[in-house]
Amino acid sequence: MAHMTAFDSDTYTARRQEAVELVKQRGLGGLVIGTGAEFAYLTGSWTSSHERLTALVIAPGGTTVVAPVTDIQSLGLEGATDVEVIGWRDGEDPYKIVADSLEDGTVGLGSSLTADHVFALQALLPATELASDAVAELFMVKDDEEAVELAKAGAAIDRVHERAADLLQPGRTEREIADELHALILEEHESVSFVIVGSGPNGSNPHHDFSDRVLEEGDPVVVDLGGALPSGYQSDCTRTHVVGETAKAPKDFLEAYAVLERAFDAACAAAKPGITAGELDAAAREVIADAGYGEYFTHRLGHGIGLSGHEQPFIIAGSDVVLREGMAFSIEPGIYVPGKWGMRIEDIVRMTANGIATLNHTRRTLGVNDA
């Protein structure tokens, strides 16, 4: 994954300064961030050094990147005057370099660090903790530049979904359709994150991808698609269709879909700044449970999105995370009856001062002629 730097260098400098302030506020010895979305958010770089350690070290006194000398020129940090770049050669101990760049106190380790790096760092550091929550504080609220990218991503996947229904013809396999959707996503994105085409009973598996099952007239089909723009920002949207005439779908499916629409609408209406993630999950879940389908809504209501397809905040039962203006996340209630059918509606939304702005606008109803 070699996305371009999305924003100018001043944006990343400001983000790193915010991270330094967060470290100070939390009284940490520092943060150690591995390559991936968190690293890219703070540097603009999607570099990967494979099994060798590349790490961004955020300490109270400043910022360091520790990387193999073979990869320094690929980092793209030449203009980052606030970052000290320290190269290491094979045979040297990069973990000691990281440890020496930190200050006294508990050190937060980023979630993208693999286990070999985590254990090596823990052997040198007196106290460590998972830094997911701390790092999430930096990226959960999207700024205006990020909002523009997420809106572009939403429009891009909408254009794919607008063409999806015509592909769902009797006699075609899920795999054939998925291959075409893969190509359509690449017309609108730099890369494909996933393609789900779940027809008939396969739709009852929320994370089914696709198979050689042949579509039949009246089959419900769950189509969940996502990709990444050149900036790295992600799209993610689900629509449920019926092959051929909607009236030929199973009667119990059509009844349940009306419940799903009400649950989706209830969550969208409840989503206002100050609500907790758990309360928002409950807004949709209660509608589904009251209609008798509670056991068939088997996942959380939603997840944050940005440079990662799934990131905090997670819209999940029991969460006391307060949703704030600027946060971007999915609202995606689903009902899945094993062995029969499944259904999901998913939009990406961004919290505003008064509610949500929806970033996906394709038809959510089942009828071909419905608006």
Tens-digit pLDDT string for the chain (371 aa)? 455 567 999 999 999 999 999 999 999 999 999 999 999 999 999 998 789 999 999 999 999 999 999 999 999 898 899 999 999 999 999 999 999 999 999 999 999 999 999 999 999 999 999 999 999 999 999 999 999 999 999 999 999 999 999 999 999 999 999 999 999 999 999 999 999 999 999 999 999 999 999 999 999 999 999 999 999 999 999 999 999 999 999 999 999 999 999 999 999 999 999 999 999 999 999 999 999 999 999 999 999 999 999 999 999 999 999 999 999 999 999 999 999 999 999 999 999 999 999 999 999 998 643 33
Per-residue tokens: 280 = 């928002």
Is the C-alpha dihedral spanning 318, 348, 37, 143 positive or negative? negative
Looking at residue 79, its pLDDT comes to 83
Q: What residue type is 191 in one-letter code?
A: S
Residue 90, SS3 per DSSP: strand
125, 130, 133, 135 alpha-carbon torsion, rounded to 10°:
60
Q: Where in the chain is the domain with CATH 3.90.230.10?
A: 144-358
Q: What residue type is 162 in one-letter code?
A: E
Query: What CATH code is assigned to 144-358?
Result: 3.90.230.10
Output 116-124 pairs: Cβ under 8 A, ≥24 positions apart: 116/51, 117/34, 117/53, 117/55, 120/53, 120/95, 121/32, 121/95, 123/95, 124/95, 124/96, 124/98, 124/99
Task: Match 């730097």 to its residue by tokens.
Answer: 5
Across the strands, what pairs with 85? 65
Q: What span, in angstroms and rounded, lies between the C-alpha atoms of 176 and 167?
A: 9
Superfamily of domain 9-139: Creatinase/prolidase N-terminal domain (3.40.350.10)
φ, ψ dihedrals at 97, nearest 5°? -60, -45
Helix axes 9-26, 132-139, angle to 10 degrees: 140
Looking at residue 367, its pLDDT comes to 61
Q: What span, in angstroms and rounded, lies between the C-alpha atoms of 370 and 368?
A: 6
348, 329 contact by CB (below 8 A): yes
Q: What residue type is 229 in one-letter code?
A: L
Q: Where in the chain is the domain with CATH 3.40.350.10?
A: 9-139
58, 16 contact by CB (below 8 A): yes
Looking at residue 368, its pLDDT comes to 46
Per-residue tokens: 17 = 């300064």
Looking at residue 371, its pLDDT comes to 33
172, 245 contact by CB (below 8 A): no
Could you give the residue ranges of the DSSP H alpha helices within the chain? 9-26, 37-43, 94-101, 115-122, 132-139, 144-164, 174-188, 251-270, 277-290
- Neighbour-count burial for 341-356, b at 16+ CB within 10 Å, e otherwise: bbbbbbbbbbbeeeeb
